[in-house]
Each structure stands twice: as structure tokens, then as C-alpha cells.
Amino acid sequence: MHDKKYIQAWEYLKKDNYNEGLLLLSKLADNNYYEATYDLAGINYYGSYGLEKNYEKALIYYEKSFLLSKRRKILEELLYVKYEKSGAIKTFFYCVFNKKIFSTLLISKG
């Protein structure tokens, strides 16, 4: 069910029907569909498909995407955006005080 809606959302976006495509991706992300959550992180970070760049939303979606998938690549992207927006010290403390992220950094091998 979600896969069909995800494909449909991207078909809307490819046809420049941004409102429908983004709305569908948002609904999927609200239902914890990892791919939609990750896509919305990038879309907000880069300001694609008619949206302005929004680092705050990008961080929210990257964090949610990471928590859903536990993928190191997403954690690295999340921390890069956090660093770019807030600097090294705030990013360090974000890692230390966020137990799920900190534990992943400690045990991850790559």
C-alpha cells in the first residue's frame, strides 16, 4: 500500500505537481514510511520542488529517518546539517545528550 503511494508521490513531483507530491510524501512520513521521511529531509535541506530551504524541517526529517532506519549514512547527513546550522560545539552536545545517536556513534563500524 505505502509503496504504491510513494511511487505516486514521485510521479506527481516529476510532473511538476508539487503540492500533491509533497502532500503525499508528508502523509507517508507521518505514517513512519522511512523512504518518504528521508526524501523530505533532502527536499527541505536543498529547497527542492517549490519549497524554500528549511534546515529546521530537514533536521526533523533526518532525525526521524535515522530513528526509523538506524542507517549510519543518514546519521552522518543529520550531523552534517546540524553542524552546518549550529556549529561544532552544539553538534557535539547534541550527540552527547541524544542517547540513541550517541550509542549509534559508539557502536557503529562504518
- Domain of 74: which CATH number? 1.25.40.10
Q: What is the pLDDT of residues 43-95, one digit of tens each?
A: 999 999 999 999 999 999 999 998 888 887 888 888 888 888 889 988 888 87
Q: In total, how many domains does the chain have?
A: 1
- Say what percent of the chain tops pLDDT 90: 55
Domain region containing 31: 2-107
DSSP of the chain, one letter per residue?
-HHHHHHHHHHHHHTT-HHHHHHHHHHHHHTT-HHHHHHHHHHHHHT-TTPPP-HHHHHHHHHHHHHHH--HHHHHHHHHHHHHHH-HHHHHHHHHH-HHHHHHHHH---
